[in-house]
Amino acid sequence: MRLTREEQGMLAGAEGPAVQKAMQMVAALADVYEAEGLVRVSSAQIAGVSYKNLGDAGLQFLQDWAAQGARVRVPALMNPAGMDLERWREMGISPQFARQQQHVVEALTSMGVSLTCTCTPYLVGTVPRAGQHLAWSESSAVSYANSVLGARSNREGGPSALAAAITGRTAAYGLHLSENRAATHVVEVQCPVRSEADYGALGYWVGQQVGDGVPYFRFQNQSLKPSQEHLMALGAAMAASGAVALYHIEGVTPEATSLPATERLQAVRAKTTPTINVHDLAEGHLALNSPLDEIDFVSLGCPHSTLADVERVAAMLDGKRVRAALWVTTSRHVRSLAEQRGWVATIEASGAKVFADTCLVVAPMEEMGFTAMATNSAKAAFYSPSHSGLKRRFGTMEQCVEAALTGRWRQS
Ligand code: F3S
């Protein structure tokens, strides 16, 4: 592996023990993946922020690194924490959990990591350009950055993303290299795909088929291009049920539309690439639904809600009252914009909540007493039984809001 003189210096401890430790991690990854060298990253996104996932050992690790003087040298952004950092009491979080979570956040902010607490950094001002190298770690964010924005990131672990932020480098392997960004499967979608739930069901099913491959979608009979929310849902679902970190959609995503002809041909490789035909989405929908009628909790906002999502929910809840708990989770940036437009007040007048900084997958939901959830997120539906012990219904935002209003699930 080739290291520049500056990188060799970091490894030898010329910039202190914190940078040396970070460079040791980056170099070890490069060794494992037989990278020829390192690439400079323009930003890092740090997962592993929730105290639920980190525990005391993870907290200690971060505090020790911070005490050594670790400091990020590129923009670094926090993934969601285990609670709304301001309104955690309203979530039912215990003071003990809140205290430890605050310590995690303090350790990260002391290193210069921004308090974004979101898996949608591209909605809060960090929009990487095509071709830029990143060290992002939350799987849906990585998928969006690679696929929709054309940036280049592997799915880093939390510590390796932090090491990349501290050194400004990551190992040059995987999706940083053009040859690994070609499609491995062509997916011919023959049925209509309409809602975010449809895109989630499609993503769930395709992720299971392709694992960590790179699917290339061709949507037949689809007059409307997918919206930003649809792309977020598709990518998040494939990253959860498989390990898809990059996908292409013909006529939509940058590397399926704007590459030079030879590279595009390589990206499709239609003649040699296995083809998956999707005739309906029933299997995906079915797999993400537990048979239950009574709903006591509704979750919207996985990945974190866009401003348009919050507006839709506000319109649906205007003047109504929820029977089941309903949480909309989003970034503090989007919540603040929605507050200015009066949408948070409208939603919360119904009894629902708009929480920032967190989501149901990384919050300690098992302590909240809910048993039966409705969600429009395939990723949340996929993880909830194992992560939180929740049975779940999965469907459109409209179905979910209706479930919150009636306390019951109605099939479409
Ligand atoms: Fe984001 Fe949490 Fe879902 S991190 S993608 S809202 S599981």
Given a contact cutoff of 8 angstroms between Cβ atoms, the answer to whether 401 and 376 are in contact is: no
Amino acid identity, position 109? T
What is the per-residue pLDDT across 124-156, written as a single tens digit (0 to 9) for each? 999 999 999 999 999 999 999 999 999 999 999
pLDDT recorded at residue 257: 77
CA of 1 to the centre of ligand 1 (A): 35
> Helices (DSSP H) in 125-226: which residue ranges?
139-147, 158-167, 196-210
Instruction: Kindly write down the DSSP assignment for every residue of 15-75, as one continuous string.
Output: T-HHHHHHHHHHHHHHHHTT-SSEEE-SEEEE----HHHHHHHHHHHHHHHHHTT---SS-
**Atom in ligand 1 nearest the alpha carbon of residue 139:** 5
| Average pLDDT of the segment spanning 162-187 | 95
**Atom in ligand 1 nearest the alpha carbon of residue 304:** 6
For residue 263, name the pLDDT band (cuts at 50, 70, 90).
Answer: low
- Kindly tell me if the per-residue pLDDT of 268 is higher than 80: no
**Atom in ligand 1 nearest the alpha carbon of residue 119:** 1
What is the per-residue pLDDT across 291-330, written as a single tens digit (0 to 9) for each? 999 999 999 999 999 999 999 999 999 999 999 999 999 9
| Average pLDDT of the segment spanning 4-21 | 98
> Which residue has a Cα nearest atom 7 of ligand 1?
361
Torsion of Cα atoms, 393 then 394 then 400 then 405, to 10°: -10
DSSP, res 306: P
Tell me the residue ranges of DSSP E strands in 260-352.
Answer: 275-278, 297-300, 325-330
CA of 270 to the centre of ligand 1 (A): 33
Identify the CA nearest to 191 among candidates 105, 80, 277.
277
Q: How far apart are CA 101 and CA 97, in angstroms?
A: 6
Instruction: Kindly write down the DSSP assignment for every residue of 275-296, as one continuous string.
Output: EEEE--SHHHHHHT--S--B-S
What are the angstrom distances between the C-alpha of 35 and each of 6, 30, 175, 257, 386?
18, 5, 12, 29, 35
pLDDT recorded at residue 411: 80
Amino acid identity, position 230? H
φ, ψ at 411 (rounded to 5°): -65, 150
The pairing of beta strand 169-171 with beta strand 38-40: antiparallel
CA of 305 to the centre of ligand 1 (A): 10
Given a contact cutoff of 8 angstroms between Cβ atoms, the answer to whether 290 and 390 are in contact is: no
Pocket (CB within 6 angstroms of ligand 1): 79-80, 119, 138, 140, 236, 302-304, 359, 361-362, 379
> Which residue has a Cα nearest atom 1 of ligand 1?
303
- Kindly tell me if the per-residue pLDDT of 390 is higher than 80: yes
Q: Which residues pair with 136 in a beta bridge?
A: 45
pTM of the model: 0.96
pLDDT recorded at residue 397: 98
Mutate to test the pocket of ligand 1, among 52, 139, 379, 382 (most ligand atoms within 8 A of CB): 379
- Kindly tell me if the per-residue pLDDT of 245 is higher than 90: yes
- Kindly tell me if the per-residue pLDDT of 266 is higher than 90: no
> Which residue has a Cα nearest atom 2 of ligand 1?
359
Percent of the chain with pLDDT over 90: 90
CA of 302 to the centre of ligand 1 (A): 5
Mutate to test the pocket of ligand 1, among 199, 204, 335, 361 (most ligand atoms within 8 A of CB): 361
> Which residue has a Cα nearest atom 4 of ligand 1?
119
Mutate to test the pocket of ligand 1, among 46, 304, 382 (most ligand atoms within 8 A of CB): 304
Query: Mean pLDDT, the chain, as a whole number?
Result: 95
- Kindly tell me if the per-residue pLDDT of 68 is higher than 60: yes
CA of 387 to the centre of ligand 1 (A): 12
23 contacts: CB under 8 Å, gap ≥ 6: 7, 10, 11, 163, 167, 169
Mutate to test the pocket of ligand 1, among 77, 138, 331, 373 (most ligand atoms within 8 A of CB): 138
**Residue for token pair 């989501």:** 359
| Average pLDDT of the segment spanning 49-62 | 98
Q: Which residues pair with 40 in a beta bridge?
A: 169
